[in-house]
Amino acid sequence: MKNPIFKAVLIGAVFYIALMILEGALHPAILPAAAVGAVILGLLATVFIWENEHTVHVGEVIILWTMILLFAAYGLVFFFIGGVF
């Protein structure tokens, strides 16, 4: 393992992937979403495998802005359908 950040990301990804699989097994209706989420999380956790620091930085920036924009989209959707208040 390269550094403590990589270890923390790996442990967190493994935990949440296991949690998604468990929830998918307990609630079959969410199994497809849990499987997709687990795959995406696993792929995102591999950003730290790359040796080139610039590649890691670009990957981190892409992940960060994707999370921010998806969170904003989630808020807007629920605001306009009346689910926020």
pLDDT at 84: 54
Residues 8 and 20 sit within 8 Å (Cβ to Cβ): no
pLDDT at 42: 84
pLDDT at 85: 52
pLDDT at 50: 73
C-alpha 70/C-alpha 80 separation (Å) is 15
What is the Cβ-side half-sphere exposure of residue 30, based on CA atoms within 13 angstroms?
12
Structure pTM?
0.60
Q: What ranges do the domains of the chain cover?
A: 1-49, 51-85
Mean pLDDT for back-to-back runs of 10 residues, the chain (85 residues): 74 88 89 87 78 79 86 85 64
pLDDT at 83: 62
| Cβ neighbour number for residue 49 with a 10 Å cutoff | 12
Residues 24 and 34 sit within 8 Å (Cβ to Cβ): yes
